[in-house]
Chain A
């Protein structure tokens, strides 16, 4: 059992004893056995030394390089702060843990101090927290040299019991740790006195609940409820230091959609007032589509898109390329290729609405004066415990429309959806019937890409004639200043249990101060753009600008660059690009 090859006694109780994890009865039994087994005691000496070294190692662990690069400064050293040195609210926040740890601490103290422990243990019956506080935290009181003082106390204690005799032999290496623990215990015992009434019950200062905090926040500013959550994700990060960093931060922030609150009315997206005001560009007679699927926002300010997207086209294209055959144009459905992959950065966790929307705008890689917008709708995951939850939500009817602000958008097109899946919504001046509601399933995700010709963008040769997409007089007169919204996504839905009650949530994407280049967009954006470009190239889309296979491959590779283990689907897609390139004339 204690051979040189295997110097470790194999009873897990040794470790449990070392780490003070044995129940009193177990501990007593173990100690009785320990007295008879010198090899265990020897092992415990080594293990305690190891444990002490481990505690030190983890405490002093170097920050991994990858994390260090992301930190502005090294984590501050820990130090103990007496409970009474904390602010009243900080004290209150810790009471819960104090009470929880009390039994364990008491046990530990009884063990350590044997006969003299009773009085102290009683006084710390509600104590036990290790008051670790980061040095430098605002409001933290000055450090005190507690451990050495208590260490002295520790040495003076009589310890005639078996426990003490063993402990003395074993704890040489761990003395520092023990002293620290004791120091905290003492601090707590003293610090708690003024906090607890004669009945020993805590009287903590009121701690605001999350709801109260949110209410306060709401009162202090206009709150986007969904945005609140998003913002909260960066709680605690240091603010950007330099002006350059601030600017970079602003730009990144601006490139991301506002996760807007549900709007009570339509007043801010009064499509009727936008519809064909004087001087607005006129679409070709009899058709709302100008060219290449582009629509004029002045005429068709809203377009719905399918929530249910098949992904079969991806398999068809993959098969064709694997057989060294160029897929037929009608086999290539961009929306199906795009939705073969997923893009949502996280599943929405809200009950209401039962989905989340991510929107992001950047330069269209193939036409830098155009914008590309990624809209991803993701339904909540099924509730835990639901066996076949997908079915439970499948009668939920939903409909999504995207409305463009003509003050910002001259024309737009929904990439893919060539078969009429992207149906123009019933706006004034349009006779297209509304798209019927679709099922929305738990966990469902759908991504749509819009290419936008912004107001004021230089004309794309061939797409427009005579500056058709120049800023309209209306826009020039000030709509641009008054409305920074680029588009709104409007989702109507009805819960299965209350089918008659249709609800509506709007999500708003604002125009960022500067449209990020595609290199500055999220990985999800670049991947979606790469897949859509792939489809456009295969389909020989006439409006794909400067797109070529190099750009497609660059987009895709940049999206997975630096990943330790790119998803198999992504590697496969990169292979598909290679297959397609090999089919090009002149390829070896």
Chain B
């Protein structure tokens, strides 16, 4: 069933001391946790679920042989994290699929006041607003590319799509953003 902190059982278990973690897991934790959490959150819009998914990802990482992950640790982390999010969502039956339009946007465009929007001199805010108009798949790939800095191949590995599809998605996303930003005087 759905479980949310603060009552989620896992969240209340005694933390394992960081120094007891294998060094390579700690290193990965330091390097990737924040990115993974945001990624998981962008997929689920559920902070508790996102953090749990990331926790579980690192727990799984502990069980891996470091040698087996050589060269694709980052992609592995994002892929496992993604599947954790999907699993958790299936469990809570909130969403049936991450594909197509199943994902909520990273922000609610309607939440922006039109008047305030017009006055937005901050191009970054405008950029974020523009990103919300992309498809969920495009948003996910944008994040994997520009936040996590994964390669096409890695993004393909994470999302289960082909490298070509990743290329097309990202290209379309950038093209859409350009078109949208072209309307913005500050841009």
Contacts and interface: CB of A to CB of B under 8 A. Distances in A.
Are A and B subunits of one complex? yes
Interface of A: 4, 6-8, 10-12, 14-16, 18-19, 21, 43, 46-47, 50-51, 53-61, 63-64, 66-67, 69-70, 75, 89-90, 92-94, 96-97, 99-100, 104, 130, 132-134, 137, 207-210, 212-213, 216-217, 220, 227-237, 239, 249, 252-253, 255-257, 341-347, 358, 360, 520-525, 527, 560, 562-569
Contact of B9 (A93, A342, A358): A358
B181 A50 contact: yes
A234 B10 contact: yes
Contacts of B128: 57, 61
B148 to A, nearest CB: 9
B41 to A, nearest CB: 6
Contact of B47 (A59, A67, A132): A67
A89 B24 CA distance: 8
Interface string B20-56: 1111110111110110011001000111101110011
A256 B73 contact: no
Contact of A96 (B18, B34, B70): B70
Contacts, number: 255
29 contacts: A6-B179, A8-B175, A8-B178, A12-B170, A15-B171, A51-B174, A63-B38, A67-B37, A67-B38, A67-B51, A93-B27, A100-B72, A104-B151, A210-B22, A210-B63, A213-B20, A233-B59, A234-B55, A236-B33, A252-B7, A256-B12, A345-B8, A346-B10, A523-B4, A525-B7, A563-B2, A564-B46, A567-B94, A568-B93
A4 B6 CA distance: 51
A233 B54 CA distance: 9
A523 B48 CA distance: 13
Nearest to B145: A19
Given A67-B37, A563-B2, A565-B94, 6 more contacts: A54-B146, A69-B47, A132-B31, A236-B18, A522-B7, A563-B94
A133 B34 CA distance: 12
The main secondary structure of chain B at its interface with chain A is helix
Q: In the complex, which of the residues A15, A133, A527 has the most CB atoms of chain B within 10 Å of its own CB atom?
A: A15
A15 B167 contact: yes
B23 to A, nearest CB: 4
A227 B59 CA distance: 12
B15 A67 contact: no
Nearest to A516: B7
Contacts of B23: 89-90, 92-93, 207-208
Contacts of A565: 94-95
B185 interface: no
Contacts of B100: none
Interface size class of chain B, counting residues whose CB lies under 8 Å from the partner chain: 35 or more
A230 B13 CA distance: 7
A213 B167 contact: no
A59 to B, nearest CB: 8
B181 A346 contact: no
A100 B71 contact: yes
B121 interface: no
Contact of B1 (A70, A217, A343): A343
Interface of B: 1-16, 18, 20-25, 27-31, 33-34, 37-38, 41, 45-48, 50-52, 55-56, 58-59, 62-67, 69-74, 87-88, 91-95, 123-124, 127-128, 142-143, 145-147, 149, 151-152, 167-168, 170-172, 174-179, 181-182
A500 B127 CA distance: 65
Q: In the complex, which of the residues B9, B28, B70, B177 has the most CB atoms of chain A within 10 Å of its own CB atom?
A: B9
A233 B49 CA distance: 12
Contacts of B28: 93
B134 to A, nearest CB: 11
A358 B6 CA distance: 17
Contacts of A46: 178
Nearest to B20: A217
Contacts of B7: 252, 520-523, 525
A99 B24 contact: no
A99 B5 CA distance: 40
Contact of B147 (A61, A70, A104): A61
A561 to B, nearest CB: 9
Contacts of A18: 174
A449 to B, nearest CB: 14
A248 to B, nearest CB: 8
B167 A16 contact: yes
A75 B20 CA distance: 23
A390 B81 CA distance: 27
A10 B55 CA distance: 40
Q: In the complex, which of the residues B6, B12, B21 has the most CB atoms of chain A within 10 Å of its own CB atom?
A: B12
A16 B70 CA distance: 25
The 10 closest A-B pairs by CB, nearest first: A100-B71, A8-B175, A252-B12, A96-B70, A66-B47, A15-B171, A12-B171, A58-B147, A93-B24, A522-B7
A184 to B, nearest CB: 12
Contacts of A54: 127, 142, 146, 177
Q: In the complex, which of the residues B13, B58, B72 has the most CB atoms of chain A within 10 Å of its own CB atom?
A: B13
Q: In the complex, which of the residues B28, B74, B174, B179 has the most CB atoms of chain A within 10 Å of its own CB atom?
A: B174
B100 to A, nearest CB: 17
B62 to A, nearest CB: 5
Contact of A12 (B22, B29, B124, B167): B167
A235 B47 contact: no
